[in-house]
A = this chain, B = another copy of it.
Amino acid sequence: MLFIIGLGLGDERDITVRGLEAVKKCDKIYIEAYTSLLSFGLSTDGLSTLEKLYGRPITLADREMVEEKADQILSEARESDVAFLVVGDPFGATTHTDLVVRAKKLNIQVKVIFNASVMNAIGICGLQLYRYGETVSVPFFTETWRPDSFYGKIKKNRSLGLHTLCLLDIRVKEPTLESLCRGRKQYEPPRYMKINTAIEQLLEVEELRGESVYNEDTHCVGFARLGSEDQMILAGTMRQLLTVDFGAPLHCLVIVGETHPVEEEMLDFYKLTDGVPRQNDSETA
């Protein structure tokens, strides 16, 4: 049996009781390493926090390993109970559809244990989840690669009065240019896009495309470390948020569409006043 278990957003305490029971009875435990594992006490150096909690070793599975060793993971899942742990929800921002499809084709039973994802946790800012349009991704621009497909999608959302969730780029285990040339694997340090960079890139594309989709006065909400003890949620214009230091990853950004009074009332609590938020933004237990 293959268990795909969501870990939620904060730290090791955000797994569900159902998820914890399942992982404790599994023979082998993998954890996906595509997103930030910092708050789970996980790094390539040590897996201490989670391993202590589960009383068992955990294998860190990056994208490469899941692709290369899927056969191994699946053959283990055929013989015994295997847990594949995923930050957030198994089918949230990052998907593990491929592993699930392969398992199902082999008639290996798959059980999914849900958890919170950034896709629903952004509801905390007061903007109604059902009033969001299509979600967009903002990739790191390079000298030569500046894809802007998000622009057209934001335009459509805004023309319908809808809010837009922008997921910001995560680069984990990217091979260095040098290593690609030499054929020896070396990796860039992980990079997580900050809200400031995302807004800079958004404004650059608006400048180029000039279709007046948004501008420096467009209202947004910035989220950092959603679900953690020190999560930060700030509402303000792009100009205001551009200069805020949101600190450590992960960050995401919402571009606010048309708002209802009840949405405004809630958003007010997160607004910057003279550059300072109205109240402490640490909201989780």
Contacts and interface: CB of A to CB of B under 8 A. Distances in A.
Interface of A: 3, 6, 8-10, 12-18, 20-22, 89-93, 95, 97-98, 100-101, 104, 110-117, 119-121, 123-124, 126, 128-137, 156, 160, 162, 165, 167, 227, 262-263, 265-266, 269, 279, 283-285
A234 to B, nearest CB: 15
B101 A265 contact: yes
A123 B92 contact: yes
26 contacts: A12-B17, A13-B21, A15-B16, A15-B17, A16-B16, A16-B17, A91-B123, A91-B129, A92-B120, A92-B129, A97-B263, A101-B265, A104-B269, A111-B283, A111-B284, A114-B116, A115-B115, A116-B116, A117-B120, A119-B119, A119-B129, A130-B134, A130-B137, A130-B165, A132-B135, A156-B160
Contacts of A266: 97, 100-101
A16 B115 contact: yes
A155 to B, nearest CB: 11
B114 A91 contact: no
Contacts of A119: 119-120, 129-130
A6 B116 contact: yes
Given A21-B285, A114-B121, A119-B119, 13 more contacts: A10-B114, A13-B18, A14-B114, A16-B16, A16-B116, A92-B120, A104-B279, A112-B284, A113-B285, A114-B116, A130-B134, A130-B137, A132-B135
Nearest to A165: B130
Contacts of A129: 91-93, 117, 119, 135
Contacts of A160: 134, 156
A63 to B, nearest CB: 15
Given A116-B89, A119-B119, A162 B134 contact: yes
Contacts of A93: 129-130
Given A13-B18, A18-B14, A104-B279, A120 B91 contact: yes
A98 B262 contact: yes
A89 to B, nearest CB: 5
A167 B114 CA distance: 19
Contacts of A110: 283
B91 A22 contact: no
